[in-house]
Structure 1
Amino acid sequence: MSGHTGQARAALTRGRLVRNAATEFALHGYDGTALSRVCKAAGVTMGALTFHYPSKASLAQAVCAAGIEATRAVVDKADRQGKTPLQSVGGVVRALAALLIDESAARAAARLSRERPSLRMDWRDSWLPLVRTRLHQAEVLDQLRPGTRPESAALLVASLVAGVEAGLLPPPRRTLLPPPTAQEHLTELWQTALQGIGALQDDPASAP
Structure 2
Amino acid sequence: MTTAATFNRTAIMTHAWETVRRANVALYGLRTILRRALRAAWSEAKHKLAIAQVEQQSKAQSPEVARTREAIAALEGKDRWTQADYARIGVLRAALRAAEDHEAAAPDYNEKRNLIASAGGRFCAVTFTKADGTERTMQVKPATLQHHIKGDNATDAGKRAAQTRKARHPHLQPVWDANARAPRSVNLATILRIAVDGIVHEYRA
The TM-score bracket by the shorter chain reads under 0.3
Indicate the structure whose relative CO is greater, using CA pairs within 8 Å and at least 6 residues apart. Answer: 1
What's the TM-score, normalizing by structure 1? 0.27
Q: Give the number of the structure whose alpha-carbon radius of gyration is greater.
A: 2
Q: Is the helix fraction higher in 1 or 2? A: 1
What's the TM-score, normalizing by structure 2? 0.27
